[in-house]
Amino acid sequence: MLICDKCGASINRDSKFCPQCGDPVTEADVVKPVSDSQAANVDISFGYSSSPNYSRAVDICKNIPSYSEIGEGKQIIHTITLPLTEVDLVVNIYNLIGSWKSSKMLIKGKTATKKDLTYFGMGCYRNRQKAYKPEQFCFGEREYEANIWGCKRLNMPINQWGSGWLDYGSFDSKQVWHLDKSRIRHELETAIRENELCPVLDRRKVLETLEKLPDSINPKKDKNWEYRTSYEEVNGDYKQVAVGVKPVFKGVNKFVVGSFKPVWEEEQTVTMSSEQDTQGSDHSWEEDGDLYEVNTSSVSVAPVQTEQPFYLKWWFIGSVIVLIMLVFKN
């Protein structure tokens, strides 16, 4: 993060203005050149107000190159235009003037509210800008939120168990899985529209990623895929049958479009103490103050009843006796 040389506030990477005072980012803020984004513009306008926030809002807006004003005195109208990448500054200004009758905010020419800046794609974008690894943030930082689209808010993760959008398809008579890309595209387009304000959501890359996926998958020949199986009843017997496909997880980032290749951290597992015996493995661990144990030979999990300290028993008994005495006394 950068530090504003005017007021000392923190500035997110890629910002062009201080979110607190509106001062443009310069070399004095230790800034590095950034490429222009394709982010939508935000138009904010407001008139004169007796609010104590009025002079503060005007001072901030006058620091912005797009600032303009029309009229004089109580008829004056102040106007600014900012890219959505400056969302922290936009939120700060809106917090000052948003409750005034004269205030108006437009995003892509449509009336907007603070909710549009703090929820959906923009809320996620603000968290991305604060993340240690912003690009990795979009692809998911853990295996359970891993995705190949570059946007975890599309809610279409890819995992080692398959299922989800990978179930959109069917087998042919040779056990080759054919992805239903039309349905997958429909789900992607719907999610993209819900998060379209995010400045880094690239629809072209998302759809290019879909095209990069194979139309047909034969796990017998393609080592990047495996069958997803389930036990189902077949002629009166339960057998393991293929119900879909799943990826070999370590290779899924080959489908990611662009130079950045995400790496997902494996989920942490509970560390248990164990003793091996001839009957199976006995494990125990503590969670939320309760001691649990597992015998893998029976695959059962149950809380262990632990002995309470001696003084606690007598404290409880004494409390009950006192309560009984008080009841009879009254």
Encode pLDDT of 191-212 as tens digits.
Answer: 999 999 999 999 999 999 999 9
Is residue 257 within 8 A of residue 237, CB to CB? The reply is no
Mean pLDDT, the chain, whole residue set: 83
Helices (H), 195-263: 203-212
Range scoring the smallest mean pLDDT among 32-41, 47-56, 170-179, 217-226: 32-41
pLDDT of residue 66: 96
pLDDT of residue 6: 82
d(CA 330, CA 326): 6
Is the pLDDT at 42 greater than 90, yes or no?
yes
Query: CB burial class (10 A; 0-12, 13-18, 19+) of residue 76?
Result: middle
d(CA 330, CA 321): 15
d(CA 181, CA 197): 25
d(CA 111, CA 105): 6
pLDDT of residue 310: 53
pLDDT of residue 295: 39
Give the predicted TM-score (pTM) of the model: 0.69
**Predicted confidence band at 37 (pLDDT cuts at 50, 70, 90)?**
very low
Encode pLDDT of 271-295 as tens digits.
Answer: 444 444 434 444 444 444 444 443 3
Q: Which residue has the higher pLDDT, 76 or 251?
A: 76
- Domains, the chain, in order of start with CATH, read 2-118 (3.30.70), 133-255 (no CATH), 278-330 (no CATH)
In degrees, rounded to 5, the angle at the alpha carbon of residue 7 between the alpha carbons of residues 91 and 37 is 45
**Predicted confidence band at 330 (pLDDT cuts at 50, 70, 90)?**
low
Is the pLDDT at 55 greater than 50, yes or no?
yes
